[in-house]
């Protein structure tokens, strides 16, 4: 019954490795997001997809590559992990803004630790 | 683009007192303002929101007010309880250019028993 789910919940890996985080939503939303929350708790948008199309790509290193195979899924692949990538990554979803519903819902987060 | 400022960064109140968190936004075209509560180790949870055509909205002990002229919106929690302790985020939906949610920097609320 989970609305927005992410896997894995925890990810511990070494510098230089490549890793992926997966996200799925069953809310019927059109738009999905990736946010990064650093140690100071700032929530920063990284990417946004609307109907599988990339619409927001903030200033994020190109080691980060999102992929949306369909409206319900948004994955994040990170190449050549660096210490500074350690953070909590949240997936979120919402309807697009053509309708009347603007609520955005977050997944449980993936705590990435790079050693 | 939109910028959202949030104050204070930390707030301690005695149980039963009220707490107020304030945000200002820069983009006058923003039209939706949600508030999120994030408990330690958990996801941000939407607790209340307000549209730009409404000045105030209330849900039990929580209320949000919006002053469009001044570009201010505030979260009010009355009769605070220890379980209200969390980090609270305001956000504004930027509608100029690409639609996106811009978050404030968060307020850590501690309710002292």
Q: What are phi and psi of A29, to 5 degrees?
A: -75, 155
pLDDT, tens digit (0-9, with 9 covering 90-100), for A65-81: 999 999 999 999 999 99
List the single range of A76-90, A94-108, B37-51 with lowest mean pLDDT.
Answer: A94-108
pLDDT, tens digit (0-9, with 9 covering 90-100), for A7-39: 999 999 999 999 999 999 999 999 999 999 998
Whether the pLDDT of residue B108 is over 80: the answer is: yes
**What pLDDT shows up at residue A102?**
86
Select from B51, B101, B105 the Cβ nearest to the Cβ of A104. B101
Q: Which of A91, A5, A3, A84 is nearest to A47 (CA)?
A: A91
Q: Do B100 and A56 touch (CB under 8 A)?
A: yes
* Burial of residue B36 (number of CB atoms within 10 Å: 0-12, 13-18, 19+): buried
Q: Which of A84, A39, A43, A41 is nearest to A61 (CA)?
A: A84
A97 or A83: whose pLDDT is higher? A83
Whether the pLDDT of residue B38 is over 80: the answer is: yes
Whether the pLDDT of residue A108 is over 80: the answer is: yes
**What pLDDT shows up at residue A39?**
87
- Tell me the nearest-neighbour CA distance from B14 into chain A, angstroms: 24
Residue in A95, A102, A103, A108 to test binding to B, most B beta-carbons within 10 Å = A102
**What pLDDT shows up at residue A1?**
60
Residue A84 in 3-state DSSP? helix
Q: Do A56 and B45 touch (CB under 8 A)?
A: no
**What pLDDT shows up at residue A95?**
87
Whether the pLDDT of residue A58 is over 70: the answer is: yes
Q: What is the rounded average pLDDT of the residues B46-56?
A: 93
**What pLDDT shows up at residue A47?**
93
Residue A7 makes CB contacts below 8 A (sequence gap 6+) with: A21, A22, A110
Q: What is the rounded average pLDDT of the residues B56-61?
A: 96
| Number of CB pairs, chain A paired with chain B, less than 8 A apart | 47
B2 or A16: whose pLDDT is higher? A16
User: Nearest chain A Cα to B101, which residue?
Assistant: A45
**What pLDDT shows up at residue B84?**
98
Whether the pLDDT of residue A100 is over 80: the answer is: no
Residue in A36, A104, A110 to test binding to B, most B beta-carbons within 10 Å = A104
Select from A42, A45, A106 the Cβ nearest to the Cβ of B44. A106
The secondary structure of B34-53, three-state, reads EEEEECCCCCCEEEEEEECC
Q: Do B44 and A103 touch (CB under 8 A)?
A: no
Whether the pLDDT of residue B33 is over 70: the answer is: yes
């Amino acid at each position: 019954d989970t609305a927005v789910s992410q896997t894995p919940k925890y990810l511990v890996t070494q510098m230089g490795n490549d890793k992926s985080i997966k996200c799925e939503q069953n809310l019927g939303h059109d738009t999905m997001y990736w946010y990064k929350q650093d140690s100071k708790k700032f929530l920063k948008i990284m990417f946004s997809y609307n109907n599988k199309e990339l619409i927001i790509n903030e200033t994020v290193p190109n080691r980060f590559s999102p992929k949306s195979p369909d409206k319900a899924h948004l994955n994040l692949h990170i190449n050549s992990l660096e210490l500074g990538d350690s953070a909590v990554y949240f997936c979120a979803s919402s309807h697009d803004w053509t309708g009347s519903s603007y609520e955005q819902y977050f997944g449980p987060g993936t705590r990435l630790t790079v050693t | 683009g939109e910028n959202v400022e949030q104050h204070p960064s930390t707030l301690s109140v005695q149980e039963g007192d009220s707490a107020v968190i304030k945000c200002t936004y820069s983009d006058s075209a923003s039209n939706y303002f949600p508030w999120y509560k994030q408990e330690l180790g958990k996801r941000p949870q939407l607790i209340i929101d307000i549209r730009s055509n409404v000045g105030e909205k209330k849900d039990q002990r929580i209320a949000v007010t919006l002053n469009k002229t001044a570009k201010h919106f505030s979260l009010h929690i009355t009769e605070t309880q220890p379980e209200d302790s969390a980090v609270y985020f305001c956000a504004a939906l930027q509608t100029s250019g690409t639609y996106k949610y811009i978050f404030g920097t968060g307020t850590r609320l501690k309710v002292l028993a």
